[in-house]
Amino acid sequence: MAACRRSCAVTLAANDKLTFILNQLAPVESATELLEFIEQYVTTPNGKVPYRERSRTIQQATAFILPPLASSS
């Protein structure tokens, strides 16, 4: 992912879950909120973490939300 000018970029993706692409995260300062969001993502069946349940940092860093990846069955 070419995000050189976008500071820290993170992508969360899994089969049958939405894909979140986050950018412009402060690598150290946003670590706690990022870990919280990852936990929310993992525990949600379809990866759809409601907007109001995401921290402000994650709300602002969300660049794209893509449809779920297909299962490889």
pLDDT digits (tens, 9 = 90+) for 9-47: 999 999 999 999 999 998 889 999 999 999 999 999 999
Question: Cα 47–32–26 angle (5° rounding)?
Answer: 95
Q: Residue 6 above 70 pLDDT?
A: no
Which ranges of 1-73 would DSSP assign to H, the alpha helix?
31-43, 56-61
* pTM beyond cutoff 0.75: yes
pLDDT given at position 72: 67
Strand partners, 44: none
pLDDT given at position 28: 87
Q: With DSSP H G I counted as helix, E B as strand and the rest as coil, what are the percentages for the chain, rounded to 5?
A: 35, 25, 40
If you search the block for the tokens 């993170």, which residue do you land on? 10
